[in-house]
Structure 1
Amino acid sequence: MAMSVGKEEGEDVPMSDINTTPLVDVMLVLLIIFLIAIPVVVETVPITLPKVAYEPTETKPENVSLTVRGGPGGACEVYWGMTPVNSEELLDRAVKKLEDQIAAVGGAENITEENMPEAHIRGDINTPYKCVGGAVFTMQRAGFARVGFISEPPPGLAAERL
């Protein structure tokens, strides 16, 4: 690069050229900074996310459908089908449901995975965790081995009917 110092043929002439050396220096420094910083930003930690498959719910007559939501003042509202129940009624109904199912299949020795009732809990997104956790705990305390959650797939991923 050539650089003008401002004197030509002994006369003082004002310099009309822009000194680009500091600009080039700044650009080179920024280029080096970006070359070092971009791989650090792009690098991610490898994690294994769960594979989510939306399967249609198999509704059997012996399954229990619960709806849980938060009520006024932080209270929990639990519905067995369409009937509101409190925790004592929920426990009593769940125990009675299991006893009826055991009697229907001819005793506890005849209970299998296929005829064991399941509890399906549907909870609103704004439902406090204590409400959902309380319903799960009550159903497990009653003897339900399988407690699951009903959810909706994200928009645009509608399940195909077979």
Structure 2
Amino acid sequence: MAMNLGTSSSDEPEVMIDMNTTPLIDVMLVLLIMLIITIPSQLHSVNLDMPTPTNAVKKTDPIVIKINVDDQNTISWNGKPISSRAELDEKLNLASQQQPQPELHIRSHAKAKYEAVALVMASAQRMGLSKLGIVGSEQFAN
């Protein structure tokens, strides 16, 4: 608080220029008390001992079928060459009937024709296989 000792000779009191800080300090103290009260409730935690599941499904690795198309446009199934489109369709049909469906990893040589790779993808889609992946595409980056 400020006290103003006036030296004026008139009967009217002088205007106080100093700011009254008492209400500001009161508001600050109220906010401080509210903060002190609310912090423990925000930091309070409840520790629960949850049971561990006993019938958890064991994760199995997926079955992977590797289909390669070489520079002579020869299609091979897990390293064994396929002689005809009918043989490819037969193998894809057998793979589509497996549960769970296997993953097809298709790798093509940089000089293989697009037609041969598209034939494999179209046949797989027609047989209902949905897990297709093109691997080895980093060779086409240049």
TM-score by length of 2: 0.49
Q: Which has the larger radius of gyration?
A: 2
TM-score by length of 1: 0.43
- Pick 1 or 2: higher relative contact order, CA cutoff 8 A, min separation 6: 1
